[in-house]
Amino acid sequence: MSVNAIQFLLIVLLSGFRALDQYSTQLFPFQHALMCWLVGIILGDPATGLIVGGTIQLMSMGALGLGGSSAPDYGMAGMVATVLACITGTGDVSVGLAVGVAVAMLYVQLDVLFKVYNSWVFSVVRKHAVAREYNKMLRSFFLSHLYLFLQGALPMALVLAFGQPVIDAILGFMPAWFTTGLNVAAGMLPITGFAMLLTFMPVNKFYAFLILGYVLSAYLKLPVLAIALLGAVVAVEYFQLKSNTTTAVAANGAAQNGDELEDE
C-alpha cells in the first residue's frame, strides 16, 4: 500500500512526539505497544500494529535507560517496524521487526550524541544565567525538546519516503570502529558526572567513604539501595555522635555561666 499525505504527516508528528515524550512529559513512557497500535490505526491496519507492538513491547523488557545509561530505543524500532509491515502489507511482520531492531541499536548511538548535544545546550543556558537574561535562559531549555522532536520525526520521514533500503545504507555507512567507539564512550562517560559531583563534596575530609562504597559494590556486590542504607547507618550514627558532643560542649559553656540547660 502507499501512504497518503495526511498519513505521512500524522506518523511523522507522532514519531517526533514519542521521541520527545520519552524524555520529557512522559505521558506514554515505554508504552511501545500503544504507539505501534496508533501507527497501525493511522495506516488503516490496527491488527498489524498490535501484533508488531506487542512483540516489540515484550522484546524491550528490561531495556530501560535508567540512571543516565543509554538503552536501545524500542519505541522508534516499533514504529518503524509497524510502518514497514503495513507498507509491505503481506501480513508478514518479520522483516519489519528485523529492521526495527537494527533501528533500536542505531538509536543507542543517537542517544549518546543527544546527551553530548545537551552539554552544549547547558553551556547556552548557563551563559544566559550568568548574563542575567532569564527569559532567554528559560527559552534555551527548549533546544533539547526541539532536537529530540527532530530526532524522532526526521528519520521517520525518511523511512516513510524511502523505506527499508535507507536503513541498510545508514548501517553500512557507519564503520565498525565508530560504533564500537561510541559504545565504549557510553560506558566511560558517566565518570564525568561522578567526577563533577566529587568536586562539590568534602572529598578530602571523608574520602574513606568513597572506598567503603566501592568495596561494598565491587567485592560484596551489594545493590545500590543496600549500599545507600549502609551509608545512611553511618550518617545517622555520625550525626547523633557529633550533635551529642556539640550539646555537651554547649552544656559546659552554659554551666560556667551559671545557667541551667535542659535536655531537648
Partner 1 sequence: MSNFFKPADFKDFDEAPIPQPLPDGSYEPVLTKEDLKICSRRMWVMDTISYAYATQNAPCATFAAYYALRKIYGGDQDAFNTAILNQLDCVFNATPPVCGLLLGAGLALEDKGHLNGMQAENDLKIGLMGPLSGIGDVFIWVLPLTILGSIAGYMAMEGNPVGILLWLAIWMAVLAWRWQNYVQGYDMGAQLITGLADKISILTDAASILGLTVVGSLIYSAVAIYTPLTFTFGDVALPIQTGVLDAIFPNILSVIATVVVYRLIKKGVKLNWIILGMIVISCVCAAFGILGVAPAA
- Residues in region 41-100 near partner 1 by CB under 8 A: 46-47, 50-51, 53-55, 57-58, 60-61, 64, 66-69
Do the beta carbons of residue 23 and residue 148 sit within 8 Å?
A: yes
Least distance to partner 1, CB of residue 226, Å: 9
Residue 132 or 260: which CB sits closer to partner 1?
132
Least distance to partner 1, CB of residue 5, Å: 27
Residue 1 or 228: which CB sits closer to partner 1?
228
- Residues 20-39 vs partner 1: string with x where CB under 8 A? x--xxxxxxxxx-xx-xx--
Residue 15 or 60: which CB sits closer to partner 1?
60
Q: Which of 1, 116, 161, 174 binds partner 1 (CB under 8 A)?
A: 116
Q: How far is CA 27 from the centre of its chain?
A: 15
Least distance to partner 1, CB of residue 30, Å: 6
The verdict on 242 binding partner 1 (CB under 8 A) reads yes
HEC string of 128-154 equals HHHCCCHHHHHHHCHHHHHHHHHHHHH
Rounded Cα gap, residues 136 and 91, in angstroms: 51
The verdict on 235 binding partner 1 (CB under 8 A) reads yes
Q: Which of 1, 161, 169, 236 binds partner 1 (CB under 8 A)?
A: 236
Least distance to partner 1, CB of residue 165, Å: 27
Q: Which of 243, 253, 254, 261 binds partner 1 (CB under 8 A)?
A: 243
What's the grid cell of residue 89? Answer: 502489507
DSSP characters over 19-55? HHHHHTT-SSTT-HHHHHHHHHHHTT-HHHHHHHHHH
Least distance to partner 1, CB of residue 170, Å: 18
Query: Could you say which DSSP state residue 67 is in?
Result: G
Ranges within 178-197 binding partner 1 (CB under 8 A): 178, 180-185, 187-197
- Residues 197-226 vs partner 1: string with x where CB under 8 A? xxxxxxx-xxx-xxxxxxxxxxx--xxxx-
C-beta contacts of 62-67 below 8 A and 24+ residues apart: 64/30, 65/111
Number of Cα atoms under 13 Å in the Cβ half of residue 32: 27
Rounded Cα gap, residues 8 and 10, in angstroms: 6
Residue 134 or 162: which CB sits closer to partner 1?
134
Ranges within 120-179 binding partner 1 (CB under 8 A): 120-123, 125-126, 129-130, 132, 134, 138, 141, 144-145, 148, 177-178
Rounded Cα gap, residues 9 and 202, in angstroms: 53
Q: Which of 154, 234, 249, 254 binds partner 1 (CB under 8 A)?
A: 234
Q: How far is CA 220 from CA 85, 140, 214, 224, 231, in A?
A: 48, 44, 9, 11, 15
